[in-house]
Amino acid sequence: MDLAGIIGIAVALAMDAFSVSIVAGMVIPHPTPRHYFRLAFHFGLFQFLMPVIGYCGGAFVENLIRDYDHWVAMALLAFIGGRMIRDSYSPNDSDMIPGDPSRGWTLVLLSLATSIDALAVGLGIGVLGKPILFPSVVIGLVCALFSITGIALGKKAGRLLGRRVMRIGGLILIAIGIRIVFEHLG
């Protein structure tokens, strides 16, 4: 597997995290370097780890999740998106949105939901008998860079849209989950 192929796979895998990062940049009122770091680090880490897990677990892991991975990703994204929509209707004047996407379980669930597809990539690399470490590092780094870019883009959009951005962001997360299901079913 050449570097161009690895980068192509990394970019494709990073698209969900990129989209979620845009939403995060929109809903966090004043993203700080800490927000950027937490999101980029976790999204990149999960994108790095999932191919390794898929590679090591091989067919066993793939057989366990193949029929359900897209439903799990959709459920996680719909849960978080629905919570964002609900929270957008509650009065909240503080700078910290309940369920800040860069903290706690929300961050873990988003990281997991956006990286499930990388398990299959790790399995595929294992089947081909190729080494996993270098591709996984590239996948993680590309995802982290896309996450940083997404937050910056979302921050600009959030300033333009104000509080409505939480509703829009929630709908976007739900739409990403639905798209994941349709891609796997189609």
Q: At what angle do helices 104-115 and 3-27 cross, to 10 degrees?
A: 150
pTM tops 0.85: no
Identify the pLDDT of residue 84: 73
* Arithmetic mean of pLDDT over the chain: 83
Structural domain count of the chain: 1
Residue of 37, 115, 107 lying closest to 69 (CA atoms): 115
Identify the pLDDT of residue 163: 63
Q: Which domain holds residue 20?
A: 3-185
3-state helix, strand, coil in the chain (%, to 5): 80, 0, 20
State percent of the chain over pLDDT 90. 31
- Mean pLDDT by 10-residue block, N- to C-terminus, for the chain (186 residues)? 88 89 88 95 97 81 68 79 76 52 89 86 81 95 96 85 72 83 82
Identify the pLDDT of residue 141: 97
**Which tens digit of pLDDT belongs to each residue from 101-123?**
888 888 998 999 888 888 878 88
